[in-house]
Amino acid sequence: MTPIAVRRWAWIHKWSSLVCTVFMLLLCVTGLPLIYHHEIDHALGNAIEAPQMAAGTPMASLDKVIAAGKALYPDKMAMYLSQEADDPKIWFLTMGDNPTDEKFKSIAVDARTAKVLGEPSFEGSFLGVMFHLHVDLYAGLWGKLFLGLMGLLLVMAIISGVVLYAPFMRKLDFGEVRRERGPRVKWLDLHNMLGIVTLTWALVVGATGMINTWADLLLKYWQYTEMAEMVAPYKGLPPPTQLGSMQQSLEHAVAAEPGMKIGFVAFPGTPFTSPHHYGIFMRGNEALTSRLYKPVLIDAQTTQITDRRQLPWYLTGLLISQPLHFGDYGGPWMQFLWAALDVITIFVLGSGLYLWLKRGAPAPARAAAAAAKEEQQQVPA
């Protein structure tokens, strides 16, 4: 690689890094507690737990679960119904004034007794603040797209950093830290070494984080294409005045998809379904397939299945990217690994910012360019 090429790559690395570093530091700092959100919720006393009961206690009808929520908020309508993948003892019922109410109420209902256990308080909590700063900067879709752009710049910074690493480290052993050359050179060597060590993880987390910021756009595209096809026979019909049994609807969906479990339910009028349907999203049983959903549309009056199909490739890719980004699919050891790599990445980002602030000393670009020039001179004509 010629010195001119090195300088070009160095320009890309410098500016892509400088623009995204502060935001990447914010994402790493806010992402750290989100890795342990379940544990933090329990430690803060915010987690809602179901009482212990004898094994094999039968589950209550979903109609009773919904009725419990309506008894608490009689003027609101049900929006969504869901369960944690590892805790089927609690149903979380979302209720609002309309199908897209952003000020909804979340209610935890015991899945066996249909009794209200409490109302989870997420908005305004510590984890709620960390989540919004990490996902959208409290700016909605535009905040997500902005962070997606920062993720793209991070990927560019990583790739350009790898390109510069080869000529710069040609005459150094891997992991060598030259302490005798002064603090800036020491920080530069640590920055390079830890950057290479975390290379694959940073690329995976950066790329999947960027993909996650497109979730709203991908969902809207799905709604206007495949979902529109699934509900086309009901176009122009008036919404139902009375809804059928949710329990019967669920039983029909489970019978149609044996070996799958319920992921979540969308009530008529919400973005995941139509004004005429229950949208029952089934999920698999394995570690990977538990994150992949299959929509089953149920006529909200007759409780009969009207359509069911696999999600398109772009939504499947989105769903796969989420556990890869958060590292929450491999148990405590995976959480620890993700947290450790997150802390190292904070150091890499911080050291890169320090090196730029101390840029009066020889820059890495000039060192890399000098190494490339020397290598060229050694090649016989």
| pLDDT tens-digit map of 284-315 | 887 667 888 999 999 999 999 999 999 999 99
Sheet strands (E) in the chain: 77-84, 87-96, 105-110, 116-118, 261-266, 277-283, 293-299, 305-308
Both structure tokens of 294: 């299959």
Distances (CA, A) of 243 to 79, 88, 160, 239, 272: 13, 25, 57, 10, 17
Percent residues over pLDDT 70 in the chain: 86
What single string gives the DSSP state of each residue in 223-251? IIIIIHHHTGGGTTPPPPSS---HHHHHH
Q: pLDDT of 239-254, one tens digit each?
A: 888 899 999 999 999 9
Distance CA 334, CA 172 (A): 32
Q: What are the pLDDT digits (tens) for 50-76?
A: 888 888 889 999 999 999 999 999 999
A 10 A CB-CB count for 14 gives 20
Does the pLDDT at position 374 exceed 60?
no
Q: What is the reported pLDDT for 287? A: 67
Contact 65, 109 (CB under 8 A): yes
**DSSP string across 88-124:** EEEEEEEEESSTT-TT-EEEEEETTT--EEE----TT
Greater confidence, 282 or 365?
282
Are the C-beta atoms of residues 135 and 144 closer than 8 Å to each other?
Answer: yes
Separation between Cα atoms, residue 131 and residue 115, nearest integer Å: 29
Evaluate if residue 43 carries a pLDDT over 70.
yes
Listed ranges 81-85, 264-268, 354-358; the one with the highest mean pLDDT: 264-268
Q: Which residues of 83-114 are buried (b: 16+ CB within 10 A; e: fewer)?
A: beeeeebbbbbbbbeebeeeebbbbbbbbbbb
Residue 365 above 60 pLDDT? no
Count of CB atoms situated within 10 Å of the CB of 293: 21
Confidence class for position 379, pLDDT limits 50, 70, 90: very low
3-state secondary structure of 308: strand
pLDDT for position 359 = 67
**CA separation for the pair 344, 355 (Å, rounded):** 16
Is 58 or 1 the better-scoring residue by pLDDT? 58
Torsion angle (degrees, nearest 10) of CA 201, 207, 209, 215:
-150
Q: With 70 as the cut, is the pLDDT of residue 178 above it?
A: no
Q: In the chain, pLDDT over 90 holds for what percent of residues?
A: 49
> Under 8 Å CB-to-CB from 332, ≥6 apart: which residues?
none
Beta-ladder partners of 108: 92, 118
Exposed/middle/buried for residue 54 (C-beta within 10 Å: 0-12, 13-18, 19+): exposed
Question: Residue 266's beta-bridge partner residues?
Answer: 80, 279
More confident residue, 81 or 17: 81
Looking only at the bridges linking them, the beta strands covering 105-110 and 293-299 are: unpaired
Mean pLDDT (the chain) is 85
- Rounded to the nearest 10 degrees, what angle do helices 183-197 and 331-357 cross at? 150
What tens digit of pLDDT does each residue of 140-149 get?
A: 999 999 999 9
Which residue is it, tokens 């998809």? 257
More confident residue, 312 or 347: 312
pLDDT-derived band at 151 (thresholds 50, 70, 90) equals: very high
Assigned token pair, 108 = 């935890």
Residue 381: which pLDDT band, with cuts at 50, 70 and 90?
A: very low
Q: How far is CA 79 from the centre of its chain?
A: 22
Calpha distance 191→233 (Å, rounded): 59
Q: What single DSSP character describes residue 267?
A: -
Stretch 180-208: mean pLDDT: 76
Q: What is the pLDDT of residues 110-144, one digit of tens each?
A: 999 999 999 988 888 889 999 999 999 999 999 99
pLDDT higher at 46 or 281: 281
